[in-house]
Structure 1
């Protein structure tokens, strides 16, 4: 489950409204048909932090119900440990195959506090857990020592890394170092779509992918090439998608671009992000549409 392409779809939320359950179900079904290896519901692209417990539980049930047997990993990050435990319970009750936990906080957390969070959650968990290392969002940086401590906990099965060093040799050395540090049963995943080919070529097992949630076919092509040892082909596919990576960089991340792309493809309504997020303006949306057409991602 924690290998190959893990695709993270948008959770469409029209402004101050509730989740567009029909559109979300269709997004999940689309990924299952494409043949992704797992589906990541309620990741950062899934706007989990903006949703109530009831909404998150409902999204988890919809994802599992429409995944046609594809394993579903559900994000359970929240500000308080009590809320994380509730989200974990709801994910398990929904039939999730695994959970994804980021140390969300308002006040900065210490290593011991993060370890305590994961320790309590895994003690109450019967399904595997992915460590979500996302310093840009959480403002918490995992150390290698903390990785090793967390890897000793029950149910910890994978880690979702931020981007690796740009130099291929340094990237591979980093992955090899983590291999020596972590149990052989624990997989190493890469996030940050622009760095995915580099991470997979360096030996990562999984791509936890944003674009895979909206454009599964090119994400699968890149993943399959890298996993088969066709490293140059994977790099070429990533280079082909460079205009998309440029849009991510231009707009401070992938969420608004993916939201505009999903709307352009008719997969969601135009307003598909929870307020106060308003998405891209008309000119920016037109640029996203142009890139989609130029890359032939609308087929």
Structure 2
């Protein structure tokens, strides 16, 4: 299940409510495209800005409209108590797996992070994916800590950030981690600009932001890499460099993807929770031009 393309849709919202109809449309697009799994309430899903009740509702909607596609539900929170409650909600909603990042306001130590995963994995009846996202958590996993956590019962995948750009270095990085985790634990790459390199280097999955909005585009890269057509996968990714450049320019993918959803009529503006804002003015026009040039509009 935790292999191939896992597409992470936006959770469109404004200050009044979640746009449930827009979220359902995004999920149904992913099902129609044939993604391997759907990741609800990841970073693109704005989980940190939602109440427990709102997150439970999104989990139920995702599962209800995903058909036979497995749904991975994010359960990250500041306190272990709250993570356990969110895990209960996700499982009650019918999630096939859960995704957990070590969120914190205070910097966390390795033993505190291990204790989090130890406590949560002991209470789960579905697989757990470790969400390594230092860009938002500010926590740096070591490969050794990944190995310890991966040995816990129920841990099924590790979602790593981008791999080195140079293919040999990427293969070395994936092999180093692979040697420390059980063989049944998959390794998935995130950081969309690095996905083709990570898949070519031996990652089993791509946990994808653009997959949540442009699933066919992400599937083409994933299928080429997993079929051994490495040059094709690399070329398909390099073609998207104008989009990757916008991700870098705007501090990550969220604002760009949310604005793209608005431009495509898939979400009503505003689609992000304040103080976050989608792109405006010349920056919005620049994105529209990139989408048109890439054939994504």
- Shorter-chain TM range is over 0.9
What does residue 106 of structure 1 align with?
Answer: 105
What does residue 50 of structure 1 align with?
Answer: 49
TM-score, normalised via structure 1 length: 0.98
Name the stretch that deviates more: 33-42 or 276-285. 276-285
Q: Distance in 2 between matches of 1:45 and 1:257?
A: 10
Instruction: Report SS of the residue matched to 1:252.
Output: coil
Q: Is 2:3 the partner of 1:3? A: yes
Q: Distance in 1 between matches of 2:144 and 2:176?
A: 12
What does residue 283 of structure 1 align with?
Answer: 282
Q: What's the offset of the Cα at 1:167?
A: 1.5
Q: Distance in 2 between matches of 1:149 and 1:181?
A: 8
Q: What's the offset of the Cα at 1:176?
A: 1.3
> Which runs of at least 4 in structure 1 moved beyond 4 Å after TM superposition?
none
Instruction: Report SS of the residue matched to 1:112.
Output: helix
Q: Distance in 2 between matches of 1:120 and 1:201?
A: 34
Structure 2 unaligned regions, length at least 5: none
Q: Distance in 2 between matches of 1:270 and 1:192?
A: 25
Note the 1:167-178 alignment, pairs <5 A: 167-178=166-177
Q: Distance in 2 between matches of 1:22 and 1:273?
A: 15
Instruction: Report SS of the residue matched to 1:181.
Output: coil
Task: Note the aligned Cα RMSD (angstroms).
Answer: 0.7
What does residue 200 of structure 2 align with?
Answer: 201
What does residue 96 of structure 1 align with?
Answer: 95
Instruction: Report SS of the residue matched to 1:188.
Output: strand
Q: Distance in 2 between matches of 1:286 and 1:165?
A: 31
Structure 1 unaligned regions, length at least 5: none
Q: Deviations over 1:47-85 (max 9, x none)?
A: 000000000000000000001110000000000111101
TM-score, normalised via structure 2 length: 0.99
What does residue 238 of structure 1 align with?
Answer: 237
Q: What's the offset of the Cα at 1:282?
A: 2.2
Q: Deviations over 1:159-193 (max 9, x none)?
A: 00011112211110111122211101000000000
Note the 1:126-137 alignment, pairs <5 A: 126-137=125-136
Q: Distance in 2 between matches of 1:151 and 1:242?
A: 33
Q: Distance in 2 between matches of 1:293 and 1:170?
A: 34
Instruction: Report SS of the residue matched to 1:157.
Output: strand
